[in-house]
Structure 1
Amino acid sequence: MAEHGETQADEEEQVWSWGAGTDGQLGTAKLQDEHLPQLLSLTSLASISMLACGGAHVIALTSVGKVLTWGRGSSGQLGHGDILNTSLPKPVFFFNDYVITQASAGWSHSGFVSDSGCLFTCGNGSFGQLGHGDNMSLTTPAKVSYFFNTSVKMVACGMRHSLVLFAGNQVCGFGSGKRGQLGFSLDRSKSVNLPCVVSGLEDVEVVRISANGDHSAAISADGELFSWGRGFCSGPDVQTPQCLPSSLSFREVALGWNHALLLTVDGEVFKLGNTLNKQPEKNQLQIDSSEALLEKVPDFEEVKVVQIAAGAEHSAAVVESGEVKTWGWGEHGQLGLGNTDDQTNPQLVSLGSIDLRTEGIKVYCGSGFTYAVRRKQELSSSPTSS
Structure 2
Amino acid sequence: MKLMVMLILLTLLSGGCADQQVQQQKIVQIACGNDFSLFLYDTGKVRAIGKNSSGQLGVGDTEDRYELTEVLLPEAVSEIGVSDDSAFALTQDGTLYTWGDNRCRQAENSAEPAVPTPIRYQIKEQEKVTQFALGWYASYGLTESDVLYGWGSKLGLVTLEDLNYEPIYQAVPLPQSRAFPIVDGKENKRYIPPKISKIDISNYTIMGIGDDGTFFGPVGENIFGAIPYTPGEIVKIAAGRLFCVLLTAEGSLYLWGDNFRGELASGDYQLRKVPLFRSFAEDPLRDVAVGPSHILALTRSGKVLAWGDNARNQLGLADRKEVLSPENIAFPEKITLIATGFHHSDALGESGKLYAFDANDYGQLMTGDQTSRDTPTVADLQSVVANPDPVIIPEFSQEVAIAATMEAFLTESGRVFTKGPGDMGTLGTATANSHEEPTYVPMSEAITQIEAGLFTFTVLTAKGEVYNWGLSQLNSLGHDHKENKWYLTPTQVPLPEKITKIRSDMYSTGALAESGNWYMWGDNTYGSLATGTKDYAAGPVKLETPVPFAELFPSRSYWLALTAEGEVYQWGTWQNKFAEEMYMPDVQTQDLKYQKIALPEKVIKAKSTAYDNFVLSATGNLYAWGFRFKQEPQIFLENVQDFVVSPRESDFLALTHDGKVYYWGYNLMEPYIPVEIHYPEIIRTVFPGEGIFYAAGEEAMYMVYDTWIQEGMKTNEFLVKVDYRYKK
Work out whether 1:85 is the aligned partner of 2:123.
no
Work out whether 1:151 is the aligned partner of 2:199.
no
Work out whether 1:246 is the aligned partner of 2:276.
no
Gap change, CA 1:97 and 1:87, over 3 Å in 2: same
- 2:377 is matched with 347
Match of 1:324 among 354, 359, 366: 354
Relative contact order, higher structure (CA 8 A, sep 6+): 1
1:228–1:237 CA contact under 8 A, matched in 2: yes
- Greater Cα radius of gyration, structure 1 or 2: 2
Gap change, CA 1:14 and 1:341, over 3 Å in 2: same
Q: Distance in 2 between matches of 1:139 and 1:332?
A: 33
Q: Distance in 2 between matches of 1:326 and 1:77?
A: 29
2:366–2:381 CA contact under 8 A, matched in 1: no
Letter in 1 for 2:285: F
For residues 62-81 of structure 1, what are the structure 2 equivalents within 5 Å? Answer: 62-80=91-109
Q: Could you list the per-position Cα deviations for residues 124-152 of structure 1 after superposition, in whole angstroms to 9, with x for gaps in the alignment?
A: 216x25x3532334543624242544211
Q: Distance in 2 between matches of 1:321 and 1:71?
A: 32
- 1:53 is matched with 82
Q: Distance in 1 between matches of 2:193 and 2:279?
A: 35
Q: Distance in 1 between matches of 2:344 and 2:130?
A: 27
For residues 1-386 of structure 1, what are the structure 2 equivalents within 5 Å? Answer: 13-42=44-73, 44=74, 46-80=75-109, 82=111, 84-94=113-123, 97-125=126-154, 128-129=156-157, 131-140=158-167, 142-147=169-174, 148-173=192-217, 182=218, 184=219, 186=220, 189=221, 191-192=222-223, 195-198=224-227, 201-203=228-230, 205-231=233-259, 233=261, 235-247=269-281, 248-273=283-308, 292-299=324-331, 302-352=332-382
1:19–1:368 CA contact under 8 A, matched in 2: no
Q: Distance in 1 between matches of 2:123 and 2:144?
A: 15
How much identity, in percent, do the aligned residues show? 22
Gap change, CA 1:352 and 1:313, over 3 Å in 2: closer
Gap change, CA 1:136 and 1:231, over 3 Å in 2: same
Q: Distance in 1 between matches of 2:352 and 2:275?
A: 34
Gap change, CA 1:65 and 1:270, over 3 Å in 2: same
Q: How far did residue 163 of structure 1 move?
A: 1.6
Q: How far did residue 75 of structure 1 move?
A: 0.4
Gap change, CA 1:149 and 1:86, over 3 Å in 2: same
Gap change, CA 1:267 and 1:117, over 3 Å in 2: farther
Q: Distance in 1 between matches of 2:172 and 2:378?
A: 45
Gap change, CA 1:233 and 1:32, over 3 Å in 2: same
1:69–1:78 CA contact under 8 A, matched in 2: yes
Q: Distance in 1 between matches of 2:60 and 2:358?
A: 27
Gap change, CA 1:50 and 1:137, over 3 Å in 2: farther
SS of residue matched to 2:123: helix
Q: Distance in 2 between matches of 1:338 and 1:96?
A: 47
Instruction: In structure 1, list runs of 5 or more residues that go unmatched.
Output: 3-9, 174-181, 276-281, 283-290, 354-366, 370-386
Gap change, CA 1:368 and 1:21, over 3 Å in 2: farther
Instruction: In structure 2, list runs of 5 or more residues that go unmatched.
Output: 1-13, 18-40, 175-191, 263-268, 311-316, 318-322, 384-433, 437-728
2:151–2:163 CA contact under 8 A, matched in 1: no
How many residues are aligned here? 312
Letter in 1 for 2:47: W
1:162–1:211 CA contact under 8 A, matched in 2: no
Q: How far did residue 87 of structure 1 move?
A: 0.3
- 1:288 is matched with none
Gap change, CA 1:50 and 1:13, over 3 Å in 2: closer
SS of residue matched to 2:376: strand
Gap change, CA 1:332 and 1:227, over 3 Å in 2: farther
Query: Normalising by the residue count of structure 1, what TM-score does the alignment of the two structures yield?
Result: 0.72
Query: Normalising by the residue count of structure 2, what TM-score does the alignment of the two structures yield?
Result: 0.40
CA RMSD across the alignment = 3.1
Q: Could you list the per-position Cα deviations for residues 259-287 of structure 1 after superposition, in whole angstroms to 9, with x for gaps in the alignment?
A: 10101122221112489xxxxxx9xxxxx
Letter in 2 for 1:98: E
Gap change, CA 1:165 and 1:242, over 3 Å in 2: same
2:344–2:358 CA contact under 8 A, matched in 1: yes
Q: Distance in 2 between matches of 1:319 and 1:153?
A: 29
Q: Distance in 2 between matches of 1:152 and 1:260?
A: 25
- 1:177 is matched with none
